[in-house]
């Protein structure tokens, strides 16, 4: 049985939860309390030295290895549980999904993280996740908000005439896009009246049980 | 025949060049002159709307699609030309390589980009690649240098007793790691006396003809 080190309120572990649900993979969840800094404790760093969630501990039959980030978790789950494919089937479709998955992460999630972590009093000295402390940079918080607005418009344009973010059907790009759009609430951003296609797509995504995870 | 939109001096297209060389895939190269801002011209944006290099134009038999970033290029090339595998074979190995590939990009290359783009007079208003202008943030340049130092130490620790960054042999993680370590020169950072394993690994990598690309 897999063990997922999880936190209900954070966006990164939500990506793993939705992925595992879409693949129908069972796991035991262990909550890591980010509010009290449990991820920075010696006990948790013995599990994941990066001091981040999610982490996924594999079965003893696979050496009990701990996957320490979403990149590892996605690659593992897609290879170990190929059905349904969430990273594409043809080379060109795999490319399209990888590209949009990357853009959702770099242009979307990272912009929110910049805006939140560089402005929230609760995250003083914690401008980046991980073991090292970094001071907040107010100008980076502002830039994050500007980039996030651009990303919402990018996603709106992309979804015109499309039911999914990339490829020919639901994929891991939709997962990261949903997590991004939903988590934008922490910096008071949500789809506006101009985001017609984005809202239509998000409403359609809500029909998938995994999205309640 | 593939067409690679390339620039000899930039790190991102070098990742694609090394990958294609390691796979033995032939292509026609088109130089995009980043010094004169050719990537921002209407002509180039008609090819890659992201206004970045590399971009890889597929054959007409695959619709002449243009892959607009390294994430897409890597996924395509690995699927279309599986031998030699550069993203792992077993699920656990794929996970290890994906994780380190991601870390080399986020913790390494991105740190250099932050340090360079937020300080170089030649990059005023160009703190991020792409079509939108963003002002430089001097504090982010400083943070990039701090993160880069951490990343060099991370890589040094990782390479103790190892011949490659991830998995059981040469992989795409080594490609991105080499490009990162080499490109750090633009912010006057290079492996120091304390980076014994990093230097050993880099010297070994130099034996691969692809690394001269």
- Check residue A118 and give its pLDDT: 98
pLDDT mean across residues, chain A:
97
Task: Yes or no: say if A99 and A87 are a contact pair by the CB < 8 Å rule.
Answer: no
Instruction: Check residue B103 and give its pLDDT.
Output: 98
Quick check: is A137 in a domain? yes
Whichever domain contains B74, its CATH number is 3.40.30.10
CA separation for the pair A151, A148 (Å, rounded): 5
> Domain count of chain A?
2
**Tell me, what CATH number does B208's domain have?**
1.20.1050.10
Which helix (H) or strand (E) segment holds residue A55: the answer is strand A55-57
Average pLDDT over residues A6-24: 97
Q: Do B198 and B99 belong to one domain?
A: yes
Domain hosting residue B72, numbered range: 2-80
DSSP B134: B
Distances (CA, A) of A89 to A48, A196, A204: 32, 29, 23
**Residues B50, A174, A189, CA angle at the centre, nearest 5°?**
75
What is the number of other CB atoms lying within 10 angstroms of the CB of residue B23? 17
Q: Which of A80, A113, A142 corresponds to the end of one domain?
A: A80
Q: Which two tokens stand for residue A24?
A: 């129908």
Q: Are A178 and A202 in contact (CB under 8 A)?
A: yes
A 100-139 residues with CB < 8 A to B: 101-103, 127-128, 132, 134-135, 137, 139
Same domain as B142, residue B111 = yes
H-state helical runs in chain A:
11-23, 42-47, 70-80, 91-103, 110-117, 138-159, 172-183, 196-205
| Same domain membership, residue A98 and residue A72 | no
What ipTM did this prediction achieve? 0.97
- Min Cα–Cα distance to chain B from A205, Å: 24
> Which of A65, A140, A150 is the closest to B92 by Cβ?
A65
Distance CA(B106)–CA(A121), nearest Å, equals: 25
B72 contact residues in A (CB cutoff 8 A):
95-96, 98-99, 102
pLDDT of residue B100: 98
* Contact between B134 and A140 using a beta-carbon 8 Å cutoff: no
Contact criterion met (CB < 8 Å) for A91 and B71: no
**Distance to chain A for B137, nearest Cα, Å:** 7
Q: In 3-state terms, what secondary structure has residue A122?
A: helix
A48 touches A5 (CB < 8 A):
yes
Q: Using a CB-CB distance cutoff of 8 angstroms, which residues of chain B are in contact with residue A101?
A: 71
- Structure tokens of A146? 């500007």
pLDDT-derived band at A70 (thresholds 50, 70, 90) equals very high
At A94, the pLDDT band (50, 70, 90 cuts) reads very high
Residue B193: inside a domain? yes
Model confidence band, residue A8 (pLDDT cutoffs 50, 70, 90): very high
Of the candidates B134, B72, B141, B136, which has an alpha carbon nearest to the alpha carbon of residue B110?
A: B141
Contact: A137, B134; criterion CB under 8 Å: no
Note the pLDDT of residue B91. 97
Q: B70 and B96 in one domain?
A: no
- B94 at interface of A, judged by CB pairs closer than 8 A: yes
- Least Cα separation, residue A71 to chain B (angstroms): 5
Where helices occur in B39-123 by DSSP H, the ranges are 42-45, 70-80, 91-103, 110-117
Rounded alpha-carbon distances, angstroms, from residue B191 to B18, B151, B158, B188: 21, 11, 14, 10
- For residue A93, what is the nearest residue in chain B, using CA coordinates? B76
CB of B155 within 8 A of CB of B192?
A: no
The pLDDT of residue B119 is 97
A156-211: pLDDT as tens digits: 999 999 999 999 999 999 999 999 999 999 999 999 999 999 999 999 999 999 99
Q: Of A49, A80, A111, which closes a domain? A: A80
CB atoms within 10 A of CB B125: 9
Residues of chain B with pLDDT under 70: none
- Are B99 and B196 members of one domain? yes
Residue-level pLDDT at A162: 98
Q: Which of B49, B80, B111 is the last residue of a domain?
A: B80
Calpha distance B86→B88 (Å, rounded): 6
Q: Do B167 and B3 touch, CB atoms closer than 8 A?
A: no
Q: Which residues contact B15 (CB under 8 A, 6 or more apart)?
A: B54, B70, B175, B176, B179
In a domain, A25, yes or no: yes
**Measured between CB atoms, does B157 come within 8 Å of chain A?**
no
A128-170 residue pLDDT tens: 999 999 999 999 999 999 999 999 999 999 999 999 999 999 9
pTM: 0.98
pLDDT at residue B86, as a whole number: 98
Residue B23 pLDDT: 98
Establish if B85 belongs to a structural domain. no
Indicate whether A73 belongs to any domain: yes
Q: Scanning every residue of chain A, which has its alpha carbon at the shortest distance from the alpha carbon of B77?
A: A91
- Give me the helices (H) in B160-194, please: 172-183
CB A186 within 8 A of CB A21: no
Q: Are residues A123 and A201 in the same domain?
A: yes
Q: Are residues B105 and B183 in the same domain?
A: yes
- Please provide the average confidence, as pLDDT, over all residues in chain B: 97
Q: How far apart, in whole angstroms, are the C-alpha atoms of residue B57 and residue B35?
A: 22
Residues of A in contact with B148 (CB under 8 A): none
């Amino acid at each position: 049985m897999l063990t997922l080190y999880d936190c209900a309120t954070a966006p990164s572990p939500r990506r793993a939860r939705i992925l595992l649900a879409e693949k129908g993979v069972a796991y035991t969840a262990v909550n890591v309390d980010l509010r009290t800094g449990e991820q920075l404790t010696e006990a948790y760093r013995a599990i994941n030295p990066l001091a981040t969630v999610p982490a996924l501990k594999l079965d003893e039959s696979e050496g009990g290895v701990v996957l320490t980030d979403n990149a590892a978790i996605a690659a593992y789950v897609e290879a170990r549980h190929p059905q349904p494919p969430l990273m594409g089937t043809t080379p060109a479709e795999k490319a399209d999904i990888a590209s949009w998955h990357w853009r959702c992460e770099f242009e979307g999630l990272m912009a929110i993280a910049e805006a939140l972590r560089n402005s929230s009093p609760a995250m003083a000295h914690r401008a980046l996740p991980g073991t090292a402390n970094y001071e907040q940079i107010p100008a980076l918080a502002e830039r994050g908000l500007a980039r996030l607005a651009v990303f919402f418009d990018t996603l709106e344009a992309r979804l015109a005439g499309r039911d999914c973010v990339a490829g020919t059907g639901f994929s891991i790009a939709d997962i990261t896009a949903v997590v991004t759009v939903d988590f934008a609430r922490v910096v008071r951003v949500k789809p506006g009246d101009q985001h017609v296609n984005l809202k239509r797509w998000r409403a359609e995504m809500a029909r998938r049980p995994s999205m309640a995870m």
